[in-house]
Amino acid sequence: MSATVPALLSAAAERLDAAGVGSARADAELLLAHAAGVEPARLRVLAVLGEPVPGDVAERFERLLEQRAARVPLQHLTGRAPFRGVELAVGPGVFVPRPETEVVAGLAVAEALRCGEAPVVVDLCAGSGAIAIAVAMEVPGARVHAVELDPMAHAWAERNVAALAPGVDLRLGDAHRALPELDGAVDVVVSNPPYVPPGAVPVDPEVRDHDPELALYGGGEDGLEVPRRVIAAAARLLRPGGYLVWEHAEVQAEAAAAALAGPHWAEVSGHADLTGRSRATSARRR
């Protein structure tokens, strides 16, 4: 006799919880929906109805569950990551976008909307293309450029840009030297650069073991070597009055402000994520 949806979900949630997965029930639902090829909302209806699960679906679910219990990221198993109302394709070789980055993208979107028609926006260290795509989709007429150094991440970004925002100009290259033809003409520079210090190995296995090191570790003793290069690139790219916003760790808020203390910058401000932690800093080009 086939197991029912609620019975499978209950057992799976217990198993994931025992493995240390913080969102055990939600992950179980998303994995079973993925195995069954249905939307999560439909799965919840099937759970209420106590519907049986076909054997082939149960087998697929078991394989996914085994990997999730081993702390393979949920997004790698489903191949999708939600970001500001869209779903991005993700997998091994690219950083999985997080909710705090949605706030950074929102700051860039808001500034671009204030710039009037056809603002020029540059996303440095673009990863999966999440921020660039969000700006392109939410700011009508925006001319969006994105730069990513890692060929693997760039390949994921290419896939996402082609599917969601084909007008984005995506480049493979070093953010520090990128887009010299736009020097002094950019309205907004936004970045989620690598910023983890070398000794601060992430605790979560999903991050530590699966996110690419190039997307995590920012270089230098404080992890801010790459972000400082991003800031230098932004100083070159932005027009006077142009806006820079970039993501960092909560403990780096003071250092982030200090990195913008030079003669190029004014109106330096910190920004909190949805949990109230200081996770981004912005400034204007003098």
Annotated binding residues: 148, 192-195
Active-site hit among 73, 97, 119, 193 = 193
Rg (CA), the chain: 21
Pure H helices in 118-212: 130-138, 151-164, 205-208
Task: List the structure tokens of 89.
Answer: 């394709």
Task: Give the torsion sign (CA, 121, 87, 126, 99).
Answer: positive
Answer yes or no: 73 catalytic: no
Residue 164: CB atoms within 10 A of its CB come to: 20
CA distance 40 to 43: 5
Phi/psi of residue 169, nearest 5 degrees: -90, 100
In contact, 91 and 265? CB cutoff 8 Å: no
Q: Which of 186, 170, 176 is nearest to 233 (CA)?
A: 176
> What is the longest distance spanned by two Cα atoms in the chain?
72
CA distance 260 to 249: 16
Active-site hit among 95, 119, 160, 197 = 95
Answer yes or no: 193 catalytic: yes
Give the residue numbers of the binding site for S-adenosyl-L-methionine.
148, 192
Q: Is 140 exposed, middle or buried (0-12, 13-18, 19+ CB in 10 A)?
A: exposed
**Strands 265-272 and 278-285, how do they pair?**
antiparallel
Q: N- to C-terminal Cα distance for the chain?
A: 71
Active-site hit among 61, 119, 192, 197 = 192
Give the residue numbers of the binding site for substrate.
192-195
CA distance 11 to 13: 6
Answer yes or no: 83 catalytic: no
Q: Indicate which residues carry an active-site annotation.
A: 95, 192-193
